[in-house]
Amino acid sequence: MKFEGEHLLPGQVGHFFVLLAFVASLVSTIAYFKASRTEAPSDKKSWLRYARGAFFTQVISVLTIFGIIFFICSNHYFEYLYAYKHASKELESKYLLACIWEGQEGSFLLWTIWHSILGIILILKSKKWEAPVMTVISFAQVFLALMLLGLYFSGVRIGSNPFVLTRNELEGPIFSQPNYLSFIKDGVGLNVLLRNYWMVIHPPVLFLGFASTLIPLAFAYAGIQTKKFGEWIKPALPWALASACVLGVGIMMGGKWAYESLSFGGYWAWDPVENASLVPWLILIAGLHCMAIYNATGNSLKASFVFIILTNAFVLYSTFLTRTGILGDTSVHSFTEAGMAMNILIGLFALAIPLPMFILFFKNAKKMPAVYKEENISSREFWMFIGSLIIFLSALFIISVTSVPVYNKIFNTNIADPQDREFTYNKVMVLVAVIIGILTAASQYFKYRQTDRKYFLKKIAVPFGAALIITILLAVFYPIEYIKQGAGFLGAIYLAIFAAIFSAFANASYIWSVLKGNIKAGGAAIAHTGFALMIVGMLISSGNKKVISDNRKTGLFVPFAQDPDGKHTEDPLENLTLIKMVPTRMADYVVTYVGDSSAVKEKNRSFYKLVVEKKDVTGRVSENFELTPDVYKMKDNNLSSNPDIKHYFFHDVFTYISSLADRSSVVDTARFKMHEIKLGDSIFYSKGYLVLNDVLKNPDNERFHFKPTDTALVADITVYSKDSTSYKAYPLLSINNFEVNYKDDTVFAKNLYLKLAGITQDGKFKIAVKESDIPADFLTLKAYVFPYINLVWLGLIIMAAGFIVSLSMRIKLKPLYTGAVLIAVIAGLFYMFLLAN
């Protein structure tokens, strides 16, 4: 059967390049491996030539594959399943890239593209290390290419090809018809939670971080393979720094996305997928410090090997967790079951590199150089190693709790996820923050091998005193209000705040008092300062996060759905009910829900306009702004809310819609009732009465703008209710081209509709009144204040700057270039995290 309207050529070309990428990466791996094992210069050169040719062929292939997928999605070729599942005609063009890496195939393709780009840099720069290092990179490319093959062996499909046709994968009567494409009006489209600009930039940065963790591991393999067990540290250290910087920024970009797109009220919730990306970064930081120790003293070589191998192992394990669907019931991220064959392939990928590396490591461990002299307790290397160990143990704790679904799946157990997940992590990590804060503050003032006690105490005294004073002042004038977990946990929060402030002061002071302002030598101190500021921001913004949507005064409570444990998903007392056009007090603000509008292109998405005013003590409006949180109505009629945030320098006001009035099944049977009254007369209704104050002819004021030559009457009416509240209403009657036009006015709080219907012969005014049967249009709003949230983003920027300074020193970048790169990166991050909204 010949199907109408299909565009098969892009898919056929794509299939070819998928196969070519796999074959080329396999040839490249073999050729690089042979080159690394060959001693003869002529043979080595020959194998390197083959390897490079194959690798560049693979690079061209994966870039072509990506280009074809983008072409298919942007042209809405829904004959391809990938375009049908991830693209849609309503999707804004800026999200076309995001819809590519939303899918499993696209994310693996993004990963392999980054390996390709990093591989090119290594070919150009790694010199004598090229062959063994590129062996590992190319081997990883083989597995990533396998993920895209989609070939069948003995009835089992290996990988998932992005160019499969919809009619071959989905069942339905339309696919037996030659014109089936005429029945497919649109694609499924990008997940509504991912329609955020952070999803355009967060995944590429995160996957660059994942991809870059392979390079220190590749150098570690090269060190073992060439028997230069310690020499690999020096060329690998810059790559480890770059990887830690990029991966850390990528993780926090995900936090920023969660903050702006998810309605759990924050940037971090210890979600399993968040944890799966955090754990490799923590282990990489531990490995980075051990590498620095070895570079300075010759200690911690074996620890460097172990941590670098484990970093990549947990990157791959995180891939297993997030891409096999095993976390589907415990994560807010939408990952589905990939199928048994794909799960096995991902599992093999997770073992393919780390397992052989551990075998090689243990096989050669006795041959590795080691310093058998015990480190002095007053030495920098001793406390750096202790800090690395603490970070590593914290990573193991996080991943052990996160992996509960894996234990249940493998061992057929029924271990429950922690009832209070956040506190389970927080009660351990707050103590880790105390230890790490103190260590990063003190260790800078230790010297390698041994430190004079008087020198250390003299240098550390001022930062310690300053941190103690600030913490006491904070406790007195801006106390932490988080008492939910008791006094013990509150005390731990204060200790962590002190430790983080101590670390920030000590590291900033170190640059000036010890390094004498030599910024280029102070990369570590800058990074530590930024990390400490992040921790301070996290502790204060979380500890003093306040719900300001207090609903106790309105008396209007909306029942929320219940979770499987029978608890309400939202507390009605913490969700402010806003009736349309009725100003309502919310903390220091007055909020008015004034209307809503549908998204221009996106189906089932509506934006809700909230006018917010802040008044001073005299009642004068000191500030006003608009918020437009939006809501997607899902197919199951559940709501997916996207927050809107008002950003200030010292705090954020975070809002999202938690419930909407369901008016779909209510029929309005009420009718207008006509009354003939004079000025000053009253009309009674079920909840009070209204008074006709005046009838204005052609008014020209803030609300109406009529000319003297117009013909218009506006009734000035005051509505009084039994609860002692009053409202103004202004129904309108106008004549234009001999046609009478009526514009009703509505008192939404009382479901009251008013119409000025005309004038009687005896001079009375016809006022029509309707009390609607339909409930008032309302929504419920959840609102938080996040104090000092910008410290989190500012700390991240400073930490990234510290990594860049350290990296520039390691690669001996000229100061002018270092400054230019630093300014560009800081400006970019500052714009994205602090100014983009």
Q: What is the mean pLDDT of residues 430-449?
A: 93
Write the pLDDT tens digit of every residue in 687-742: 899 999 999 999 988 778 888 888 899 999 999 988 788 888 999 999 887 788 88
Write the pLDDT tens digit of every residue in 229-243: 999 999 999 999 999
Strand runs labelled E in 121-242: 151-153, 156-158
Q: Which residues of 702-731 are buried (b: 16+ CB within 10 A; e: fewer)?
A: eeeebeeeeebbbbbbebebeeeeebebbb
What is the pLDDT of the chain when averaged over all its residues? Answer: 88
Q: What is the mean pLDDT of residues 10-16?
A: 95
At 745, give phi and psi (nearest 5°): -125, 155
Pairwise pLDDT comparison (677 vs 825), residue with the higher score: 677
Burial environment of residue 400 by CB neighbours within 10 A (0 to 12, 13 to 18, 19 or more): exposed
Q: What is the mean pLDDT of residues 532-537?
A: 96
pTM over 0.85: yes
Q: What is the mean pLDDT of residues 646-671?
A: 81
| Token representation of residue 488 | 């013990």
Q: pLDDT above 70 covers what percent of the chain?
A: 93
Single out the residue of 820, 295, 810 nearest to residue 521, CA to CA: 810
- Give the pLDDT confidence score for residue 371 in this predicted structure: 77
Q: What is the mean pLDDT of residues 330-339?
A: 52
- Give the pLDDT confidence score for residue 837 in this predicted structure: 56
Write the pLDDT tens digit of every residue in 560-607: 765 555 555 678 888 998 888 888 899 889 999 988 887 666 777 889
Provide the residue type at 337 as one letter: E
Given a cut of 70, whether residue 458 has pLDDT beyond it is yes
- Give the pLDDT confidence score for residue 702 in this predicted structure: 75
Q: What is the mean pLDDT of residues 603-612?
A: 88
Pairing of strands 739-743, 732-736: antiparallel
How would you write 683-714 as a 3-class SS string?
A: EEECCEEEEEEEEEECCECCCCECCCCCCEEE
Q: What is the mean pLDDT of residues 518-527?
A: 90
- Give the pLDDT confidence score for residue 350 in this predicted structure: 80
Given a cut of 80, whether residue 59 has pLDDT beyond it is yes
Q: How far apart are CA 339 and CA 324, in angstroms?
A: 8
- Give the pLDDT confidence score for residue 334 in this predicted structure: 46
| Token representation of residue 421 | 């997940």
Given a cut of 60, whether residue 351 has pLDDT beyond it is yes
Write the pLDDT tens digit of every residue in 17-51: 999 999 999 999 999 999 999 988 899 999 999 99
